[in-house]
């Protein structure tokens, strides 16, 4: 959108309801305007999409779906979406935040200290956790999308817009993606789908920049920035102190090894005492001049300073300043300061005469006119007070109540709720410890109530010497540290005996809240060996293979009419079954065919009958010793001897 087009929209009323008063932010996808909701008589922010997106039908469909979904998010640290429309231009209506963005703070040199950056990081992580559990991934966490109201309460902006833009058939201006890529993820360069842990990575980068003023792995090009982060974990500078472990976890290149947003918030809170929290030095808000309407950094929001009624003389350098939208629009849109006839009563009379076509018969004194005007102002102010005043409610005493119950009650009365968590040894987790303002205070709707909520006991170090201990020993060590044994899972290990602790479970940090259940991984011993099918293989080869598997062999020999000698018939356990490492496998080996006994019944038979009987037994007749016409008197080997099947037997007759 050109500068002229942005200026032309001033005074335009969108949807018959939202009068655009002044541009307060610009980006590659939209221009943000301060606007007056003429129905509810309140100030709002209106994001007007650029013409290139307005003509993209597929984007508009996605934008509508995302806007409706994002409007359902109800969290104290997520920007409220009031409305959306699609008339002459598509637009999104959100709450107006007067505190400025984190981007504006950093650009002004207002870097955060450790306590401040933890406060911002925890609020952001908790809001992301809320959204992620409802299926939303932001995809564009960066300082420009972290805004503050006039009391310093953080809001995440543009939920849903990044996803809609990612699927739009639209090309951003050359180089426009670079600003977003500064906070991009290794998985984006690899074509991996994004999940909630992607937002955690970007938030970690934002925290590092908020302390140091520098971003790791930032190259001159988008591709260079993305590729610099592939397979490389984010280096955490020494300035991050006790927050370093949490940031190293968030900056892991492999998203599967990163904490989710809820875990990241817990890790930030577990960093210990970082000093007292000083109020943030908010950047405030400032209306943009026409030469600032070209987007300089994509989706960067320049939120204006507090806008007050004043003159609009040519000597002003900070842009238009106004409080009443009607007066502001009249003076700003025609380029002239508002002129009132009461300031020049003579001119008013002349003008009135000109309209009536006759000369004035008498002149009303300036004092009378001033009196009438004063009376009208008083009456108007009184009417405005009763018609437009914001309802108030008296705060109850919420201490000792559950935070979720208090939050619901306060939000139902129109209050904003901010929670500050502190550790307590004596007060149960999620219990309200104190409130600001205190009980009995009359507070207008829309104001913020800060609840100090117990996080439970402070975190304690998790013993690091648990690997190598038995479960009983590890449980005793955890109890001594103020923790308790959690879920125990088994994992095979070739060297560690069964039942011995291998490691802490995934997700267990170096410090955990007191009383936490700590999961452990114990050894299930070596992985069971699956017995191969050894049938028909030589026993020599089978013995070697079982020995390589760490199994022992017991050999059993038996005769077989079908399996050759010294060949395996079967095993126990059978093929396909498991055996523990070091256990014994029984191998049955063939001794060949069963031996044959030379029968005594052949004695006295003729040579022919005896030969037939031996042949039937699987033996062969090798010859006759003696008179072949005589009957058999014996054999060689002798009658009753066991011989192998197929052996040769000689028949013996009488001399």
List the catalytic residues.
140
Q: Left if phi > 0, otherwise alpha if psi is -120 to 50, otherwise beta: which for 216?
A: beta
Place of tokens 């003076």: 331
Residues 343 and 330: their CA atoms lie apart, in Å, by: 17
369-377, long-range: CB within 8 Å, 24+ apart, which pairs?
369/342, 369/345, 370/342, 373/342
Q: Is the link from the previous residue into 637 a cis peptide, with omega within 30 of 0? A: yes
State the Cα angle at 125 between 421 and 205, rounded to 5°: 125
Residue (of 367, 343, 368, 341) closest to 352 by Cα position? 341
Strands 584-590 and 632-636: unpaired
Residue (of 521, 524, 549) closest to 534 by Cα position? 549
Encoding tokens for residue 123? Answer: 């609020």
Beta-bridged to residue 625, according to DSSP, are: 652
Distances (CA, A) of 216 to 206, 225, 250, 364, 405: 10, 9, 13, 74, 42
Residues 6+ apart with CB under 8 A from 265: 121, 122, 125, 126, 129
Distances (CA, A) of 512 to 207, 278, 344, 486, 578: 22, 26, 74, 13, 40
Backbone angles phi, psi at 528, to 5 degrees: -55, 150
Encoding tokens for residue 363? Answer: 């002149």
Place of tokens 């108030």: 392
Q: Which strands form 18-26's sheet, in the order they lie side by side? A: 13-14, 18-26, 30-37, 42-49, 90-95, 81-86
Residues 46 and 307: their CA atoms lie apart, in Å, by: 16
Produce one character per residue of 616-648: b if its CB has 16 or more CB atoms within 10 Å, e if not.
Answer: eeebebeebebeeeebbebbeeebeeebeeebe
Contact status, residue 150 vs residue 98, Cβ threshold 8 Å: yes
Residues 587 and 409: their CA atoms lie apart, in Å, by: 76
The dihedral of CA 347, 349, 351, 357: what is its sign? negative
């Amino acid at each position: 959108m050109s500068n002229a087009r942005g200026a032309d929209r001033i005074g335009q009323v969108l949807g018959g309801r939202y009068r655009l008063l002044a541009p307060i932010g610009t980006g590659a996808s939209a221009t943000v305007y301060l606007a007056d909701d003429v129905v509810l008589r309140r100030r709002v922010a209106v994001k007007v999409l650029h013409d290139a997106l307005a003509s993209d039908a597929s984007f508009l469909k996605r934008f509508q779906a995302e806007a409706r979904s994002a409007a359902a998010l109800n969290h104290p640290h997520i920007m409220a979406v009031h409305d959306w429309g699609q008339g002459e231009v598509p637009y999104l209506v959100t709450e107006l935040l007067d505190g400025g963005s984190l981007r504006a703070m950093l650009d002004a040199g207002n870097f955060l200290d450790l306590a401040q950056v933890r406060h911002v990081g925890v609020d952001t992580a908790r809001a992301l956790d809320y959204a992620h559990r409802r299926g939303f991934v932001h995809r564009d966490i960066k300082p420009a999308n972290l805004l503050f109201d006039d009391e310093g309460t953080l809001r995440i902006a543009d939920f849903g817009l990044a996803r809609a833009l990612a699927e739009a058939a639209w090309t951003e201006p050359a180089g426009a993606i670079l600003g977003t890529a500064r906070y991009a993820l290794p998985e984006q360069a690899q074509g991996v789908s994004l999940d909630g842990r992607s937002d955690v990575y970007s938030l970690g980068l934002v925290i590092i920049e908020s302390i140091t003023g520098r971003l790791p792995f930032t190259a001159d090009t988008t591709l260079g920035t993305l590729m610099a982060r592939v397979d490389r974990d984010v280096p955490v500078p020494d300035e991050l102190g006790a927050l370093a472990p949490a940031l190293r976890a968030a900056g892991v290149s492999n998203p599967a090894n990163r904490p989710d947003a809820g875990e990241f918030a817990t890790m930030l809170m577990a960093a210990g005492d970082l000093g007292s929290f000083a109020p943030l030095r908010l950047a405030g808000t400032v209306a943009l001049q026409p030469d600032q309407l070209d987007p300089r950094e994509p989706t960067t929001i320049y939120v204006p300073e507090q806008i007050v009624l004043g003159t609009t003389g040519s000597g002003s350098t900070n842009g238009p300043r106004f409080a009443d939208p009607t007066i502001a629009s009249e003076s700003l849109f025609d380029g002239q300061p508002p002129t009132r006839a009461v300031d020049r009563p003579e001119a008013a009379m002349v003008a009135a005469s000109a309209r009536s076509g006759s000369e004035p018969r008498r002149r009303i004194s300036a004092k009378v006119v001033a009196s009438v005007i004063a009376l009208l102002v008083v009456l108007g102010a009184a009417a405005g007070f009763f018609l437009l005043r914001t309802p108030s409610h008296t705060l109850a005493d919420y201490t000792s109540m559950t935070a979720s119950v208090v939050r619901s009650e306060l939000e139902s009365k129109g209050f904003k709720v901010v929670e500050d968590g502190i550790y307590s040894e004596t007060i149960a987790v999620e219990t309200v410890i104190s409130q600001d303002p205190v009980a009995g205070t009359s507070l207008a709707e829309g104001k913020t109530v800060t609840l100090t909520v117990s996080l439970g006991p402070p975190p304690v170090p998790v013993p690091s010497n648990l690997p190598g201990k038995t479960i009983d020993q590890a449980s005793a060590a955890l109890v001594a540290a103020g923790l308790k044994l959690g879920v125990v899972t088994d994992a095979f290990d070739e060297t560690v005996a069964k039942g011995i602790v291998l490691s802490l479970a995934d997700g267990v940090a170096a410090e955990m809240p007191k009383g936490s259940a700590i999961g452990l991984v114990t050894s299930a011993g070596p992985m069971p060996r699956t017995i191969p099918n050894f049938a028909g293989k030589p026993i020599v080869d089978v013995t070697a293979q079982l020995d390589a598997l760490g199994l022992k062999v017991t050999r059993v020999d038996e005769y077989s009419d079908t399996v050759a000698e010294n060949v395996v018939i079967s095993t126990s356990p059978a093929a396909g079954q498991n055996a523990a490492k070091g256990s014994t496998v029984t191998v049955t080996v063939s001794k060949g065919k069963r031996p044959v006994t030379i029968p005594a019944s052949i004695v006295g038979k003729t040579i022919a009958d005896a030969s037939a009987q031996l042949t039937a037994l699987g033996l062969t007749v090798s010859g006759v010793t003696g008179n072949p016409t005589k009957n058999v008197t014996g054999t060689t080997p002798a009658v009753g001897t066991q011989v192998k099947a197929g052996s040769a037997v000689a028949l013996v007759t009488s001399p």
